[in-house]
């Protein structure tokens, strides 16, 4: 067996240094029956040292404690091996953390509806296990983070020890670092992740046994008028080259339709069509998401969440079923 990342959630930044200590409690569904795990913590976007204290992992009657540690800005920390009850249906992870600068909301598909006092999960980045399997990384924006297609796909792939991890960040760009409000550092400002190439590099440094990367990015660049075919090609080719350099398989995804979403117009729609035409020449490495959910340049009404950009559960399931069939064919 080999250490493999079986779960992760992408961090984002909050432009607010907090000296208030937060208690974070996460209750997860069992990802897979295993006997030992390691946790990886990260301080992806903070500029202060972050302390993690009183870390415990509970599975049934098994309670393990991990010594305190600190994370410098940009640092990863991997815990020692932690025993876990393979019969446990849920895992409870609890720790105290300060400062609160880098993390994510409690909206993961594997989280059960129970949490501690914190409103923001800081620190924890991945869970890895000593298991025969492979990690598949989904690199994306809100169309990925929303889990409409990743969650049903995860359930199917885990049966084959294929562990799809959701590295989508709401508001993330293909081409540039993304901030919710670049002109201010007020408490309400969010940082939605680095540009795609830096994100990919950091993901591959922090995730174990990654065999495939799914690249589904570009919608935010397109809607904000910052994307054309040439810039898209350059960014995607850079990601492809890095995957090849690391001997990792990859899949590209066409850009799904978004006419009717605020900021989208006919000119940008023409750019989307040009990009998808170029992508469709790469059939051996492409998943044509757009073709699965598109009707006359717009999201098929039955797949539309209501904002004309994001998929609802039905649309996500359509994509998940197509992708899973490709995996099970050995593609």
Q: Residue 328 pLDDT > 80, yes or no?
A: no
Q: Lowest-pLDDT range, 63-72, 182-191, 211-220?
A: 182-191
Say whether the peptide bond before residue 99 is cis (omega within 30 degrees of 0): yes
Q: Residue 126 pLDDT > 90, yes or no?
A: yes
pLDDT value of position 60: 97
pLDDT value of position 165: 98
Q: How confident is the model at residue 184 (pLDDT cuts 50, 70, 90)?
A: very low
β-strand pairing of 120-122 with 111-115: unpaired
Gyration radius of the chain over CA positions: 20
Q: What mean pLDDT do residues 58-87 have? A: 97
Residue with the two structure tokens 């998808």: 276
Q: What mean pLDDT do residues 18-23 have? A: 68
Q: Residue 1 pLDDT > 90, yes or no?
A: no
- Each domain of the chain, given as residue ranges in start order, spans 2-129, 133-328
Q: What mean pLDDT do residues 223-227 have? A: 97
pLDDT value of position 179: 75
Q: Describe the strand order of the beta sheet including 210-216 as a list of residue ranges.
A: 162-168, 134-140, 210-216, 249-253, 286-287
Helices 313-328 & 150-158, crossing angle to 10 degrees?
A: 30
Q: How far is CA 233 from the centre of its chain?
A: 22
Q: What tokens does 7 get? A: 């779960």
Q: Look at 129 and 178; give whichever has higher pLDDT.
A: 129
**How distant, in Å, are the alpha carbons of 16, 35, 162, 256, 304 from that of 7?**
27, 15, 11, 26, 28
Q: Residue 181 pLDDT > 80, yes or no?
A: no
Q: Residue 116 pLDDT > 50, yes or no?
A: yes
Residues 6+ apart with CB under 8 A from 190: 12, 13, 14, 15, 171, 179, 180, 181
Residues 6+ apart with CB under 8 A from 55: 39, 65, 66, 67, 68, 79, 93, 94, 95
Q: Residue 182 pLDDT > 50, yes or no?
A: no
Q: What mean pLDDT do residues 72-97 have? A: 96
Q: Residue 106 pLDDT > 90, yes or no?
A: no
- Domain 133-328 matching CATH 3.40.50.300: the answer reads no
pTM score, whole prediction:
0.94
pLDDT value of position 118: 62
Cα–Cα distance, 295 to 49 (Å, whole number): 49
Residues 6+ apart with CB under 8 A from 196: 139, 172, 173, 174, 175, 215, 217, 235, 239
> What pLDDT, in 10s, does the model give residues 249-299?
999 999 999 999 999 999 999 999 999 999 999 888 999 999 999 998 999
Cα–Cα distance, 46 to 101 (Å, whole number): 5
* Contact (Cβ atoms closer than 8 angstroms) between residue 98 and residue 51: yes
Cα–Cα distance, 6 to 126 (Å, whole number): 8
Q: Look at 68 and 45; give whichever has higher pLDDT.
A: 68
Is 2-129's fold the same as 133-328's? no
* Contact (Cβ atoms closer than 8 angstroms) between residue 178 and residue 193: yes
Q: How confident is the model at residue 187 (pLDDT cuts 50, 70, 90)?
A: very low
pLDDT value of position 16: 55
Q: Residue 17 pLDDT > 60, yes or no?
A: no
Q: Residue 15 pLDDT > 70, yes or no?
A: no
CATH of domain 2-129: 2.60.120
pLDDT value of position 188: 44
Cα–Cα distance, 69 to 97 (Å, whole number): 10
């Amino acid at each position: 067996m080999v250490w493999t990342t079986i779960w992760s959630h992408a961090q984002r930044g909050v432009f607010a240094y907090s000296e208030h200590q937060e208690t974070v409690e996460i209750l997860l569904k069992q990802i897979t029956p295993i006997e030992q795990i390691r946790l990886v913590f990260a301080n992806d976007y903070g500029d202060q040292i972050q302390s993690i204290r009183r870390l415990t992992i509970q599975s049934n009657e098994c309670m393990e404690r991990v010594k305190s540690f600190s994370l410098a800005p940009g640092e990863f920390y991997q815990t020692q091996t932690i025993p876990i009850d393979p019969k446990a249906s849920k895992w409870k992870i609890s720790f105290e953390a300060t400062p609160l600068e880098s993390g994510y909301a409690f909206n993961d598909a594997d989280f059960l509806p129970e949490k501690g006092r914190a409103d923001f999960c800081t620190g924890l980045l991945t869970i890895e296990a000593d298991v025969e399997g492979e990690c598949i990384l989904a690199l994306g924006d809100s169309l990925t983070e929303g889990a409409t297609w990743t969650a049903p796909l995860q359930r199917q792939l885990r049966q084959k020890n294929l562990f799809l991890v959701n590295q989508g960040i709401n508001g993330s760009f293909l081409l540039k670092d993304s901030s919710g409000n670049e002109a201010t550092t007020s408490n309400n400002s969010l940082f939605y992740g680095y540009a795609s190439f830096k994100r990919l590099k950091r993901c591959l440094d922090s995730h174990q046994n990654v065999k495939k990367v799914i690249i589904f990015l570009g919608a935010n660049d397109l809607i904000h008028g910052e994307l054309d075919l040439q810039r898209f090609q350059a960014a995607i080719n850079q990601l492809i080259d890095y995957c090849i350099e690391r001997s990792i398989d990859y899949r590209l995804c066409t850009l799904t339709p978004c006419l009717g979403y605020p900021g989208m117009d006919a000119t940008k729609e023409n750019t989307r069509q040009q990009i998808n035409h170029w992508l469709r020449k790469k059939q051996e490495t492409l998943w044509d998401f757009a073709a699965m959910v598109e009707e006359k340049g717009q999201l098929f009404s039955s797949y539309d969440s209501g904002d004309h950009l994001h998929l609802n559960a039905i649309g996500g399931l359509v994509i998940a079923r197509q992708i899973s069939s490709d995996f099970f064919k050995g593609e």
